[in-house]
Amino acid sequence: MLSIDNILETNQMIHDNKLDVRTITMGISLLECASSSGKELCDRIYDRITKEAEHLVSTGEDIEREFGIPIINKRISVTPISLVAGGSDLTSYVPVAEAMDRAAKTVGVNFIGGFSALVTKGATRADRILIDSIPEALATTDIVCSSVAVGSTKTGINMDAVRDMGIIVKKTAELTKDNDALGCAKLVIFCNPVEDNPFMAGAFFGVTEGDSAISVGVSGPGVVKHALESVRGQSFDVVAETIKRTAFKITRVGQLVAQEASRRLGKPFGIIDLSLAPTPAVGDSVAHVLEEMGLSSCGCHGTTAALALLNDAVKKGGLMASSHVGGLSGAFIPVSEDAGMIDAVSCGSLTLDKLEAMTCVCSVGLDMIAIPGDTTADTISAIIADESAIGMINNKTTAVRVIPVPGKTVGEVVEFGGLLGYAPIIEVSPYSAAEFIVRGGRIPAPIRSLTN
């Protein structure tokens, strides 16, 4: 039974501390859409998405209105397209992306993810077609998101795919240069991706899932910061307990929305992803949470330790609240989407190297980072390789979403708008890794992969 104090506290978290349900994401399996005819494949994909998600947006809006809980996005994730389209006669999967885009717009969602390939050990013909299709697909669609998995703890790192993805990122930037390389904001390169992630741009519906599922991503860095303000100067034991209790409350809100959406839509309840995902709005910053622990500026010495505590305490609090916590739960550190991170980069306390160190202990990786437009494909591939190595060795999900903005260099700012925010162009190393990247092949899996 909810007490009046519970209700008032939740109301304060929503209205004063920017607590929100960041997304309701419907996962949809497209395996039954497979066809040898490319046209029939696209028609089946469109029909299945529009049928399954017909009431997703209206249901989310009804719950938002009835419960008074902001639900910022309604999204769809689908089976990785390279697995669905492999038997078709298509030599480019751009028509599939366009069918996804049309279907998503028809049902009114914000984004659709799953224009994806899983090439952690090797690539099929379909995988190669999909990867080659990414730049044009992201340039000709508006709300389609793409991801490619290039490594895992079990398989090692596919360095051929890493090399190719550096080229793909550059091509995507060039084809969307009129929008400051916005296409790259819809492309994620993963190591150890999870199959139930409701957050874009990396969401896809894994083959171990069922026909469909409803998952919810809930956020609340502002709520955590507010809670920490009451324990200033106290020990880290108190800090950790405070974050855990706050994460518990946030997760309960997410579970309420997830269960209600699942019931109304008649779809299985998937997971709750409790991720402190910031926005550019003041008071909604992960960087400010870290600074509330005593750091003068995010990026100074001590930042990685503070982030490790935050990430761990969020996960523990979430697991106490629900047995269905999954996805990428923890803390995100996207630069362009976090006002505190933007300030830290602008003043010089936060660098690309420090961000890489922070990814060892956060939920994902190098996210929404704008880099100079003249950054080479080899350098981007090397960034992907470094981040994949962190994920592979530490048995965690890592990802790269970097945006080489044509015509812009360090010190300039790029505006993406909306939740994507804006970002200062960050410096990358001028030294080349070309001879390293050109080797290709596979970096073997670590000894810890032999767990059978």
3-state secondary structure the chain: CCCHHHHHHHHHHHHCCCCEEEEEEEEECCHHHCCCCHHHHHHHHHHHHHHHCCCHHHHHHHHHHHHCCCEEEEEEEECCHHHHHCCCCCCCCHHHHHHHHHHHHHHCCCEEEEEEEECCCCCCHHHHHHHHHHHHHHHHCCCEEEEEEEEECCCEEEHHHHHHHHHHHHHHHHHCHHHCCHHHHHEEEEECCCCCCCCCCCCCCCCCCCCEEEEEEEECHHHHHHHHHCCCCCCHHHHHHHHHHHHHHHHHHHHHHHHHHHHHHCCCEEEEEEEECCCCCCCCCHHHHHHHCCCCCCCCCCHHHHHHHHHHHHHHHHHHHCCCECCCCEECCCCCCCHHHHHHHHHCCCCHHHHHHHCCCCCCCEEEEEEECCCCHHHHHHHHHHHHHHHHHHCCCEEEEEEEECCCCCCCEEECCHHHCEEECCCCCCCCCHHHHCCCCEECCCHHHCCC
Q: Supply the pTM of this predicted model.
A: 0.91
The total number of residues shown for the chain amounts to: 452
Tell me how far apart the alpha carbons of residues 333 and 381 are, in angstroms, rounded to a whole number.
21
Long-range contacts of 245-249 (CB under 8 A, 24+ apart): 245/317, 246/220, 246/317, 247/274, 247/313, 247/314, 247/315, 247/316, 247/317, 247/318, 247/321, 248/317, 248/318, 248/320, 248/321, 249/9, 249/10, 249/13, 249/223, 249/321
Q: For residues 306 and 228, what is the distance between their CA atoms, to the nearest angstrom?
A: 13
Determine the Cα–Cα distance for residues 89 and 237; give it in Å rounded to an integer.
59
Give CA–CA dist 289/309, Å, rounded. Answer: 11
Closest CA to 135 of 205, 76, 72, 183: 183
Q: Which residue has the tokens 């309960």?
A: 252
The pLDDT of residue 2? 44
The pLDDT value recorded for residue 3 is: 47
What is the structure's pLDDT at 337?
A: 81
Instruction: Tell me the pLDDT of the chain (452 aa) as tens digits.
Output: 444 445 445 555 565 556 778 889 999 999 999 999 999 999 999 999 999 999 999 999 998 888 888 888 899 999 999 999 999 999 999 999 999 999 999 999 999 999 999 999 999 999 999 999 999 999 999 999 999 999 999 999 999 999 999 999 999 999 999 988 999 999 999 999 988 888 888 899 988 888 999 998 888 788 888 889 989 999 999 999 999 998 888 888 888 888 889 999 999 998 888 888 777 665 678 899 999 999 999 999 999 999 999 999 988 988 888 888 877 788 888 888 888 888 898 888 999 999 999 999 888 889 889 999 999 999 999 999 999 999 999 999 999 999 999 999 998 888 887 777 788 999 999 999 999 999 999 999 988 777 77
For residues 163-172, one letter each, b for 16 or more C-beta atoms within 10 angstroms of the residue's C-beta and e for the rest, the string is bbbbbbbbbb
pLDDT of residue 41: 97
Return the pLDDT at 4. Answer: 45
Contact 219, 20 (CB under 8 A): yes
